[in-house]
Amino acid sequence: MCENPLNSIIVKSEKVNLIGLEPEALIEFFSRLGQKSYRAKQIMRWIYQRGVLKFDEMTDLSLQLRDQLSNEATLSLPKMISSEEARDGTRKWLLDVGAGQAVETVFIPETNRSTLCISSQAGCAMDCSFCATGRHGFNRNLSGAEILGQVIFANQELGSKLSITNVVFMGMGEPLANYRQVVQVAKLLIDDCAFGLSRRRVTISTSGLVPQIRKLAKDCNVALAVSLHAATDKVRDQLVPINQRHQIQELLESCWHYADSLASRHITFEYVMLAGVNDRIKDAISLIKLLKNKPAKVNLIPFNSFPGTAYTCSDDEVIIKFCAKLRAAGIVATIRRTRGDDIAAACGQLAGRVKDRMRVRLGDRQIRAANL
């Protein structure tokens, strides 16, 4: 049984960070203060909908309660270390999460939507060979407050002129290896008393943790993006090492199971285009065999280079032909427009600052870290 983090904090007489707490935990917190359960919804609306992080500004709470909250609780966000803006308007923030660790959060404005890409871990242990994050190793899972704090921070930085319409767990880390905290945050993102986003506008990405995908189908069926990147186990074993534990057929079976819970929605399969590795027409044909007549759409991602990588991006013509081959077979396929690459904010380029890193690769320790 997992220890209630609220209990451990109270025993230590430290202030409780209310950001990211589940509604049930908030209700318990207010109960300990001798308050009614509806206070939980009140404070959720103040924090998440109005962006108020000072208890003395929460005017529908009594002065006595505001004093209690000031003594017992805090509303703490990760601190910004640096901010960069790309030529295309993409913004990247480096946020301090303590003990020498820092993570990156990216805001991508588009014509019809604005997407925030958030991190779930300090570093990543999946060690995908084409990803900058994995090369810097893994330190720890982020807390719910540190994950959701990125959304609140971005809202404050953007102000009223820009609003976040979509949130994707595609920053640093493997989201499903920090399962409990990620699901807790995803539920708050879609909670009507919190951010109230549609399930379609919250996407959890994974490199392929099969047991967690199956569990997620029951716990919080938001949109799912799977980092496939190859159509054969031989190639995927090299690109995405978790494939050595959960091979493609097992992964796809869990995806079709997940799709059954999505009310006719598709699973998105991310596919990075690597010259001479996975971009040939025969690779497209293999991919078609895997996904044809399935609830799948393919997002082709031009590879974004980073220092020390041995890979190069497929030529534009090669990517276009690959996409056309998929579409001709009836598969929904798109080519992702590269955003923020001039500030290393594009897909696969996030690195943050990860110290005291642990090389935990594919073993039982990494699976246990999922906090199921």
> Confidence band (pLDDT; 50, 70, 90) for 340?
low
Determine the pLDDT at residue 50. 94
Look-up of token digits 């690769």: 361
> Confidence band (pLDDT; 50, 70, 90) for 136?
confident
- Which one is predicted more confidently, 360 or 229? 229
Q: Three-class SS string for the chain?
A: CCCCHHHHHHHCCCCEECCCCCHHHHHHHHHHCCCCCHHHHHHHHHHHHCCCCCHHHCCCCCHHHHHHHHHHEECCCCEEEEEEECCCCCEEEEEEEECCEEEEEEEEECCCCEEEECCCEEECCCCCCCCHHHHCCEEEECCHHHHHHHHHHHHHHHHHHCCCCEEEECCCCCHHHHHHHHHHHHHHHHCCCCCCCCHHHEEEEECCCHHHHHHHHHHCCCEEEEECCCCCHHHHHHHCHHHHCCCHHHHHHHHHHHHCCCCCCCEEEEEEEECCCCCCHHHHHHHHHHHCCCCEEEEEEECCCCCCCCCCECCHHHHHHHHHHHHHCCCEEEECCCCCHHHCCCCCCCCCECCCCECCCCCHHHHHCCCC
> Confidence band (pLDDT; 50, 70, 90) for 10?
very low
Determine the pLDDT at residue 162. 78
- Which one is predicted more confidently, 271 or 359? 271
User: Among this protein's residues, is 347 annotated catalytic?
Assistant: yes
Region(s) of the chain under CATH 3.20.20.70: 79-368
> Confidence band (pLDDT; 50, 70, 90) for 273?
very high
Q: CA of 100: how far to CAs of 19, 342, 348, in Å?
A: 22, 25, 22
Q: CA of 209: how far to CAs of 95, 222, 299, in Å?
A: 27, 16, 19
Determine the pLDDT at residue 135. 74
Say whether pLDDT at 134 is over 80.
Answer: no
Determine the pLDDT at residue 344. 54
204-233 average pLDDT score: 96
Residue in 117, 131, 220, 347 annotated catalytic = 347
Euclidean distance between CA atoms 297 and 176, whole angstroms: 21
51-69 average pLDDT score: 96
For residue range 161-183, list pLDDT tens digits in order.
778 999 999 999 999 999 999 99
Pairing state of beta strands 296-302 and 332-335?
A: parallel
Say whether pLDDT at 153 is over 70.
Answer: yes
Region(s) of the chain under CATH 1.10.150.530: 5-74
Determine the pLDDT at residue 22. 95
144-157 average pLDDT score: 96
Q: CA of 315: how far to CAs of 70, 135, 320, 342, in Å?
A: 57, 25, 9, 19
CATH no., domain 79-368: 3.20.20.70
Q: Please name every residue paired with 122 in a beta bridge, in sequence order, or none if there are none.
A: 140
- Which one is predicted more confidently, 213 or 351? 213
Determine the pLDDT at residue 351. 54
Other Cβ atoms within 10 Å of 60 Cβ, number: 8
Q: CA of 8: how far to CAs of 5, 110, 146, in Å?
A: 5, 43, 18
Say whether pLDDT at 350 is over 60.
Answer: no
Please tell me the pTM assigned to this model.
Answer: 0.89
CATH no., domain 5-74: 1.10.150.530
346-367 average pLDDT score: 50
User: Among this protein's residues, is 157 annotated catalytic?
Assistant: no
> Confidence band (pLDDT; 50, 70, 90) for 246?
very high
Say whether pLDDT at 358 is over 60.
Answer: no
What are the φ/ψ torsions at residue 167 (nearest 5 degrees)?
A: -125, 130
For residue range 309-319, list pLDDT tens digits in order.
889 999 999 99
Euclidean distance between CA atoms 316 and 172, whole angstroms: 27
Q: Please name every residue paired with 268 in a beta bridge, in sequence order, or none if there are none.
A: 225, 297
Look-up of token digits 């953007």: 158
Determine the pLDDT at residue 364. 42
Mean pLDDT over each residue of the chain, to the nearest integer: 88
Say whether pLDDT at 354 is over 90.
Answer: no
Residue in 104, 146, 174, 270 annotated catalytic = 104
Least confident interval from 32-41, 52-61, 260-269, 275-284: 260-269
In total, the chain counts a number of residues equal to 372
Say whether pLDDT at 363 is over 90.
Answer: no
Euclidean distance between CA atoms 333 and 288, whole angstroms: 11
